[in-house]
Each structure stands twice: as structure tokens, then as C-alpha cells.
Amino acid sequence: MKIIKSEKRLCTCCMEEHEVKTVLVEEQMTFKNVKVAYKATYFYCDAAEEFYMDEEQIQENDIHLKDAYREKEGLLTSGQIRSIREKYGISQSDLCTLLGWGGKTITRYESHQVQDKAHDTILKKIDQDPEWFLTLLDDAKSDLSESAYEKYLNKATSLYEEDQDLYLKKAIEASYVKFQGNTSAQGNTKLSLNKVVDVIRYLAASKKVTNLYKVKLMKLMWYADALSYQKRGFAITGLVYQALPMGAVPVGHNSIINLKDVPCEEVDMGETNAYHFSLKGEQKFSALSGEDIKILDVVIEKLGRMSKNEIVSFMHKEQAYERTLPRDNISFEYAKQLRI
């Protein structure tokens, strides 16, 4: 028995006013033929040396018992079901509408009733798959108020985008596993996608950087990492760059520009598409240190107004490019002889 608190009140066990303890007790009980252990809350009367419960405790202990059973059987607990619903910001009744269940089903699952495995599987899928939630939401649109639909749509869309971004980050990070410990390739820095995104955002936000398209962006990023390595002995981002025909390009560049918060706009150029980067208004770059920003400012001042062709030609004359075989990784050791 663990005493949670003690307060003076009317004890409904002995009907006298005195210090009544609220205690936590380890209980065991069989539920649906399964023996489970759980913690129950009681009041304790010292005078009568007895435990007793009020209505609220009876309900809470019932939930604790059934949640212990759920955990043992691999089912979602009442709290986990509530968390799934709150993640989407959806009411109990509207979630039932989406799933085609009775109007009080979720209310019961969050309180006293244990869900069956079929419903549990559906709730787990809702939790793990915002895209499926969006599909269900679209099917149920006519059964929801306009304001509720918009609220759920915005929340689920945001979760879906975060889910996509997480998958994309994991894929990029997986492609960099083979470079772990290769300090010359990564510039003595572990890959930080948060820094990668903020470097792109910082360049895109600068008024001194003109016509920032993908080819130019990749060169500016390499120069920023190379200059950082030259001055500090480590790069900013941890990206690995390859020597491609247009100059230095980071491994995973096509995925990197699709990361959330990268201000990339696809532009139709007729026979092909181009990727333009621009960011307006006041911005914060929390992933970047003051020293990171100073290095970026040097790169921007030196190269920001160059055209694509000018910066490609400029980089082609770097030892880092001249001495690296086509498609090989560019060693950061060459950063010691930068032209800026």
C-alpha cells in the first residue's frame, strides 16, 4: 500500500471527520479468463482499518483493470485510444462517423468497454496512417459540419506531411550510413538534415542571392561546407558531395529539396522543369549557429550574385573539382585551397 495523500474530511466508512488517506494498492484479478495485475486507488480509514471507494474511484479502478488486460492482450489502452483521437483533434462521435461505428462506441472504448481485435486493428491503422484517415474523412464529408471537416482536414494533412517528411529523412539518412567515419567525405561532421534545411532556407532568404535555382544552390552549399571546413576543421551540414558535370552536388540532392520547410518551387520551363528557391519575410534559423551564419554570409557576399553559368565555371577551376574523378566523392581536404 502506498499513501498518495492524506486530508481531513468526512469518512463515509465510519461517518466521522478525520484524516482520510488516499492509497494505491497492487491488485490482481481475472478478467475474461486472463489474470491481470493493476494498481487500484482507495480511501483508507485508520479507525475502521478498512479500504473503501467513492463512485469516481470505482470507475477509475475499472479502467485500470481493463487497461491492464488490454496491455496483456496487445490491445490499445483507453488512454492510447484517446491520444489517437486527440492527435487528429476529432471528437468521439465524429470519429465514429468516419469509421461507420455506433455513435457511442469510442466513448465506451475510452471508458469501460474493451474493444475487440478487429476494431483495435482499425484504430491502430488510423494512428499509423494519416493518408487513410484523409480517405475516410473525404468519404464522410457530407456527414460532418463544414467547420469540423476543415479542422480535421488541416490536422490530418499536417500529420500526413510530417509522416512523409519523416520517411524521407530516414531514407536520406540511410543513404549516408556508408559514409559514417569517412571524415574526408563528410567534412568531419555527422549529417544534420536540420542544418541542411536551414542552410537552404538562409540562402533562399538572402536578398544578395539572385536567381537561386538548383544548380546554383548546390554550389553555394558546397562552398559553405568547404569554407567551414577550411576555417574550423568541420563542415556545417555533413553532406557528401560528388563531382558531377555541373560541379559539386550532394548525395541525395533530389530528396533533400523535397524536405519539409525547404522553400522549393517547381517552375515549368517548357521542355523541362526547374527548381527555384525563395523565402520571404522575417525568418528564424534555429539549427544554425552564429559562426555558421558568418560563413554563409561570406559565401553569399562572394558568390551570391553570380549566374548559374558563372558559378559552375568558377567551381570547375577549384582543385577540389579538377582533382576528383567524375562522380567520385569530393574530399574536404581540397577545401584548404578554396578560391574564395
pLDDT digits (tens, 9 = 90+) for 228-267: 999 999 999 999 999 999 999 999 999 999 999 999 999 9
User: Which amino acid does the sequence have at 103?
Assistant: G
Whether residue 186 has pLDDT greater than 90: yes
One domain for residues 230 and 322: yes
Model pTM score: 0.68
One domain for residues 208 and 310: yes
pLDDT tens track for 158-175:
999 888 898 899 999 999
In a domain, 199, yes or no: yes
Q: What is the mean pLDDT of the chain?
A: 95
One domain for residues 295 and 271: yes
pLDDT at 268: 84
What is the share, in percent, of the chain residues with pLDDT greater than 70? Answer: 100
- 464529408: which residue's cell? 141
pLDDT at 1: 82
Whether residue 154 has pLDDT greater than 90: yes
Mean pLDDT, range 325-331, rounded to an integer: 97
The CA distance from 295 to 277, in Å, is 20
Strands 241-244 and 50-52, how do they pair? unpaired
In a domain, 6, yes or no: yes
pLDDT at 161: 87
Whether residue 295 has pLDDT greater than 90: yes
One domain for residues 208 and 297: yes
One domain for residues 191 and 294: yes
- 494505491: which residue's cell? 24
Number of domains in the chain: 3
Whether residue 205 has pLDDT greater than 80: yes
One domain for residues 155 and 192: no
One domain for residues 257 and 320: yes
One domain for residues 98 and 208: no
The CA distance from 185 to 29, in Å, is 60
One domain for residues 205 and 97: no
Q: Which of 53, 73, 93 is the last residue of a domain?
A: 73
* pLDDT tier for residue 270 given thresholds of 50, 70 and 90: confident
pLDDT at 269: 78
The CA distance from 37 to 68, in Å, is 7
pLDDT at 272: 82
Which structural domain range is residue 114 located in? Answer: 84-165
Whether residue 28 has pLDDT greater than 80: yes
Q: Print the SS3 string covering the chain.
A: CEEEEEEEEEECCCCEEEEEEEEEEEEEEEECCEEEEEEEEEEEECCCCEEECCHHHHHHHHHHHHHHHHHHHCCCCHHHHHHHHHHHCCCHHHHHHHHCCCCCHHHHHCCCCCCCHHHHHHHHHHHHCHHHHHHHHHHCHHHCCHHHHHHHHHHHHHHHHHHHHHHHHHHHHHHCHHHCCCHHHHCCCCCCHHHHHHHHHHHHHCCCCCCCEHHHHHHHHHHHHHHHHHHHCCCCCCCCEEEECCEEEECCHHHHCCCCCCCEEEEECCCCEEEEECCCCCCCCCCCCHHHHHHHHHHHHHHCCCCHHHHHHHHHCCHHHHCCCCCCECCHHHHHHCCC
One domain for residues 187 and 312: yes
One domain for residues 153 and 190: no
Phi, psi for residue 18 in degrees, rounded to 5:
-165, 180
One domain for residues 56 and 109: no
Q: Which of 111, 140, 165 is the last residue of a domain?
A: 165
Q: Which of 120, 139, 165 is the last residue of a domain?
A: 165
In a domain, 78, yes or no: no
In a domain, 173, yes or no: no
pLDDT at 271: 76
